[in-house]
Structure 1
Amino acid sequence: MVRTGFLANVPVLDVDPFSRESLADPYPLDARIREAGPIVWLDKYGVWATGRYDVVDRIFRDHETFESSAGTGLTNTKLQENWRKPSAILEADPPGHGRVRRGMMSALSPKVARGLRGEFMQRAHELVGEAAARGEVDAAKDLAEAFPLRVLPDALGLSTEGREHLLPYANLNFQAQGPRNELYEEALKQAGEAQKYVAWQMRREALDETKLAGTIFAAADNGEITHEEASMLVRTFLSAGLDTTILGIGLALKALAENPDAWAALRADPALARTVFEETLRCFAPSPIIGRTTTREVEIEGARLQPQQKVVMLLSAANHDPRRWTVPQRFDITRDTRGQLAFGTGIHGCVGQMMARVEAECLLTAVATRVSRLEIAGTPVPKLNNWLRGFDSIPMRITSA
């Protein structure tokens, strides 16, 4: 077929990154899209896509041309109603974005993170000790999921009531970023009362203000943000502060079990926990895709994008771009991972990345200290999510140190 108009001379792919088959084994399609061209048109969804590192980096840094306020999923929320109100940070653009981000950062400053580290480390050692005593665990559930659920809600100041709704809500949030397919419909059913729970938990009176929530609302009291924005920032924690960290920790544990040299290096020097997590993020980005929307006509490598068109950036594909990384498919903890795009970059770089790193470092440090041996003890089960990547189950045999 001869393509005319804005699709002239542009690679057009008839593929579905959101099919169950693609989600179960995503890396071949990542590579196909990346190598087809600097930017391609996905016919099934009517969106642009890129997996090239330089193009993704350019889009992240040009927030005036590629906006976030039209939604960061497949849906252009300025043209089509979304299932929830937009995020006060991720789905906002300047000038409002900067003001709200500064309010959020007061709750997530390096000083705050350092203050939480001691408690997180203690609880990580407790959890890993319990798991090591059992010998055989599901690392995805018993370690990667259990630890953030043990520490983050308490640190934020959530009520103990209703926490069973946290993961179903977060799952729905990420499934909804993709197409309205079967996975989205399943998540919608599983969420049940989760949306009502989140609306209830966002309220100031439902939170413990001696914790991080208090810092967020203090910013509202000081006039830095509005009280409605403070509540929306609590929702940001609820929807985005768990799943990506959980999956990232699980991917790190799996990678260590499958790479004995990396595991031996971490065992010899637990201070490498941060390095292990960074290479995990590069090699197996748990949040592998994000969207932007064009505000004007713009050219990318000969392709002419029209205003209000969606562009999806394949972060995992960019983190595997051989133009940027040497032997990118190899998990290598000696690699310089600076520039990896799992948390994004530019003004919309993930605001929760500091918290995710603290959680992962504490858990991986405890594993390196309290476990002498990690082995995969069964077939890991991939997590099928439109907008996330990782494993629902990782059977593992661990030996206490």
Structure 2
Amino acid sequence: MTPSPRAPEPTSGLPPPASGLSPSGAPALDVDPFSTEFFEDPHRIHEALREAGPVVWLSRWSVHAVARYAEVHAVLNDPATFCSGRGVGLSDFARETPWRPKSLILEADPPEHGRTRAVLARVLSPGVMKTLRERFRVAAEALTEDLLARRSFDAVSDLAEAFPLSVFPDAVGLQREGREHLLPYAGLAFNAFGPPNELRRRALETAAPHVDWVMAQCQRQNLAPGGFGAAIHEAADRGEITHDEAPLLVRSLLTAGLDTTVNGIGAAIYCLARFPEAFARLRGKPALARAAFEEAVRFESPVQTFFRTTTRDVEIGGVTIPDGAKVLMFLGAANRDPRRWQDPARYDPERQTVGHVGFGSGIHMCVGQLLARLEGEVMLGALAARVGAIAITGPVVRRYNNTLRGLERLPVTLTPA
């Protein structure tokens, strides 16, 4: 088998440790996972975090963190000890008021979480995905033909964003006017999970028009019959959720169903353009489209971090984290942990990626994952069938966000097959 492409290894040294230990005895690191340095090259910092220990103390923000796969997976799968109801960002909802009404999915704990998630799980079930596949496939093929005619374009705005925006809002049943608010709202929501830095402050200062539009679209009278949104309101008619909860559940769908898809497709295109041997393997075996998307999600981890809050004193790796403490999980670091993955810095479309935490894990696993996977699969399948090569033809610009990892610009040129 042809060796799979490998990402360049970091050349700079690891961040120095902070002086001393945390109050819990965890090794301390003076790194900022919400800095430009981290956004540009998280892998160097991830390595330092993993090698420092199973639990580290981030002195910059006074929080414990886990970056190894085993510990990240364990935290994600123990919602009784590591709760989400106090916020999945740095803000602690037991001590401060959320910037918007709490998510009924992301920021909820059992048993309430199970009640509302069951509704979304049915709305976005595998059976529903089957009914959408042909429509999404046709849209992906049409976009690919258009991009081939243009040859050169921005793979972020013209592909990674354009394709989900061409199919997802219609599937939800959103009105056409104002859809330009969708991506800014998603960016805002994920920036808000970070600390009170400039990204978060700027996002909240400009939030009002995006929040107002999104909340208006979540109301029943603004949603087209037959879409995801209408199905959620119908669940309220059956008494599965309340009528007040229905708009908030639609709002959760608008975030869960778009951001991971856009950044996941962008990550896949970026990988296939950088590693032409991987794209050649995909072209030779189009059935790898789903696996190529999945591996891109592991390799780039569009969602980099999430927080949990401890509900009791808990010991991890010999470190006792006290009750009520924020714990930061580095999903991206876990997805490249050599303790879990063989040669993790290699993009391999044929890798067995089962168990990666790019969509989370446990009861809070991304509710939009099936939608993201469907869109990623049909889009990569369309490209594999019609495109001979993808070449990066200009400066690649990263988009900064406190939680998401993605690109602002990715200029490429396509060569027809």
With normalisation by structure 1, the TM-score equals: 0.97
**Rounded Cα–Cα distance in structure 2 between residues aligned with 1:2 and 1:319:** 29
Q: Which residue of 1 aligns with 2:50?
A: 34
Q: 1:190, CA displacement in angstroms?
A: 4.4
Q: Is the 8 A contact 1:165 1:191 kept in 2?
A: no
Q: Are 2:40 and 1:21 aligned?
A: no
1:161 aligns with 2:191: no
- 1:348 and 2:368 equivalent? no
Tell me if 1:179 matches 2:221.
Answer: no
Alpha carbons 1:107, 1:216 under 8 Å: kept: yes
Structure 1: give runs of 5+ residues left out of the alignment. none
- Please state how far the C-alpha of 1:189 moved relative to its aligned partner: 4.3
- For the 8 Å contact 2:267–2:296, the answer to whether it is kept is yes
What secondary structure does 2:244 align onto? helix
Of residues 73-82 and 281-290 in structure 1, the stretch that sits farther from structure 2 once superposed is: 73-82
Mapped partners of 1:298, 1:2: distance in 2: 22
TM-score by length of 2: 0.93
Question: For 1:84, which of 79, 100, 108 is the aligned residue?
Answer: 100
Give the SS at the match of 2:342.
coil
Which of the residues 35, 49, 54 maps onto 2:70?
54
Partner residue in 2 for 1:203: 219
1:341 CA displacement: 0.6
Q: Does the C-alpha gap of structure 1 residues 76 and 398 become closer, same or farther in structure 2, counting only changes over 3 Å?
A: same
Deviation per CA, 1:310-362, whole angstroms, max 9, x where unpaired?
Answer: 00100110011111111111101221111111111111111110000011111
Aligned counterparts of 2:407 and 2:317: Cα–Cα separation in 1 = 35
Tell me how far 1:192 sits from its aligned partner. 4.8
Q: Which residue identity is paired with 1:270?
A: P
The reply to whether residue 319 of structure 1 matches residue 335 of structure 2 is: yes
Give the drift of 1:97: 0.7
Residue pairs, 1:41-120, within 5 angstroms: 41-120=57-136
**1:137-286 counterparts in 2 under 5 A?**
137-286=153-302
Correspondence for 1:376 among 368, 387, 392 = 392
Question: For residues 254 and 329 of structure 2, what CA distance do their matches in structure 1 show?
Answer: 24
| Amino acid paired to 2:30 | D
Amino acid at match of 2:61: Y
**Residue correspondences, number:** 399
The one-character-per-residue Cα deviations of 1:85-107 (angstroms, maximum 9, x if unpaired) are 11101111111111111111110
In 1, the alpha carbon distance for the partners of 2:199 and 2:66 equals 23
8 Å Cα contact 1:106/1:215 also seen in 2: no
Structure 1 distance, partners of 2:350, 2:337, is 18
Give the Cα separation in 2 of the matches to 1:194 and 1:286: 22
Please list the CA deviations of residues 143-183 of structure 1 after superposition, one character each: whole Å capped at 9, or x if unmatched. Answer: 10100011100000011121111111111101111012111
Output the CA distance in 2 between the equivalents of 1:62 and 1:297: 13
Tell me how far apart the structure 2 counterparts of residues 195 and 239 of structure 1 sit (CA, whole Å): 12
Structure 2 contact 276–389 (Cα < 8 Å) conserved = no
How far is the alpha carbon of 1:187 from its aligned partner?
2.4
- Residue 317 of structure 1 aligns to which amino acid in structure 2? A
How large is the RMSD of aligned CA atoms in angstroms?
1.3
Amino acid at match of 2:349: I
- Check the 8 A contact 1:106/1:216 in 2, yes or no: no
- Displacement, 1:239? 2.4
Deviation of 1:3 (Å): 4.6
> 3-state SS of the aligned residue for 1:227?
coil
3-state secondary structure, aligned to 1:398: strand
The secondary structure found in structure 2 opposite 1:333 is: coil
Distance in 1 of aligned mates of 2:206 and 2:157: 18
* Distance across 1 between alignment mates of 2:166 and 2:350: 31
Which amino acid in 2 is paired with 1:302? G
The answer (yes or no) to whether the contact 1:288–1:315 under 8 Å persists in 2 is yes
Choose the corresponding residue for 1:128, options 144, 148, 153.
144
Structure 2 CA distance for partners of 1:263 and 1:321, relative to 1, 3 Å: same
Alignment match of 1:7 (pick from 24, 37, 43): 24
